[in-house]
Structure 1
Amino acid sequence: MAQRDVVFPAGRQALYERNRYSPAVRSNGLLFVSGQVGSREDGSPEPGLEAQVRRAFENLNAVLAAAGCSFDDVVDVTVFIVDPAERFERIWAVVPAYWGQAPYPNITCVGVTWLYGFDFEIKVIAKLPEGAPA
């Protein structure tokens, strides 16, 4: 098996090592980013739904930046929401600050019952910029 080309954002490698997963992997010109939640540096949830969503996007953007990408390079988004009937509108009020301009990436929203103490998770696939390590 080939060695995975893993991307780590600054200051969070210990968290990923403790939980035994890679924040992102480069492969064939794409960046596959693991689900990002609204966790603080120590891994604990950011209190408050809207603050947790903002922190999830900030964590996502840190992973993207570590690979030389931004949200503008994102082509596929999957979000997981605990109790989406209750929380979707509040979450979606925060999203435009991070989403960028049209054309937007595609998205799949999934309602779940549990996210390890979090209410929102976002995972993406991004196209690596030309000249970036593939």
Structure 2
Amino acid sequence: MRDVIFPNDKQANYEAYGYSAAVRSGGFLFISGQVGVDASGSAIKDPAAQFQLAFINLGGVLEAAGCGFNDIVDVTTFHVDMYEHFDAFASAKQRVFPNPPFPNWTAIGVVCLADPDLLLEIKAIAKLTSFT
């Protein structure tokens, strides 16, 4: 059985592109890639602010599912210009994962993302403490 999750203020964006923000199945939450866009869907130009907003958007999906960052067990990040922006990314990541135990993490360098101004996409899996 599976159940889809959408943050209240973003569902139209997911429907426009034909995917779910997250799918709850088998005690896990599989979260689609989250990026640093504002409410209008525009990418934030400043890399540090974009990375922080990507984590905020990830937090919104987690909250809609009734869980939080401490429930994340696996993270995959996709980076444009990884070496140029890595310190800013690491700072944003440390704000949401300040202490061990840290989730599993894989970082992948990519040529580009869906919007030419996007520098980061975050995909995650969370373990739900209670599920239906």
Which deviates more, 93-102 or 119-128? 93-102
What's the TM-score, normalizing by structure 2?
Answer: 0.93
1:39 correspondence with 2:37: yes
Partner of residue 59, structure 1: 57
Percent identity over the alignment is 48
SS at match of 2:95: helix
The Cα offsets for residues 67-107 of structure 1, whole Å up to 9 and x where unpaired, read as 01100000000001001121112211222111142010010
Gaps of 5+ in 2: none
Letter in 1 for 2:123: K
Partner of residue 125, structure 2: 125
Aligned mates of 1:16, 1:42 — CA distance in 2: 13
Aligned mates of 1:12, 1:87 — CA distance in 2: 27
- Show structure 1 runs of 4+ deviating over 3 A: none
SS at match of 1:90: helix
Kept in 2: contact 1:15–1:42 (CA 8 A): no
Aligned mates of 2:40, 2:20 — CA distance in 1: 16
Which deviates more, 91-100 or 105-114? 91-100
Q: Shift of residue 16 of structure 1?
A: 0.7
Aligned mates of 1:84, 1:65 — CA distance in 2: 28
Letter in 1 for 2:34: Q
Gaps of 5+ in 1: none
SS at match of 1:15: helix
Partner of residue 106, structure 1: 104
Q: Shift of residue 46 of structure 1?
A: 1.4
Aligned mates of 2:83, 2:98 — CA distance in 1: 25
What's the TM-score, normalizing by structure 1?
Answer: 0.92
Kept in 2: contact 1:53–1:120 (CA 8 A): yes
- Aligned-residue Cα RMSD (Å) equals 1.2
Partner of residue 20, structure 1: 18
Q: Shift of residue 20 of structure 1?
A: 1.2
Question: Could you tell me which of 27, 41, 60 is aligned with 1:29?
Answer: 27
SS at match of 2:86: helix
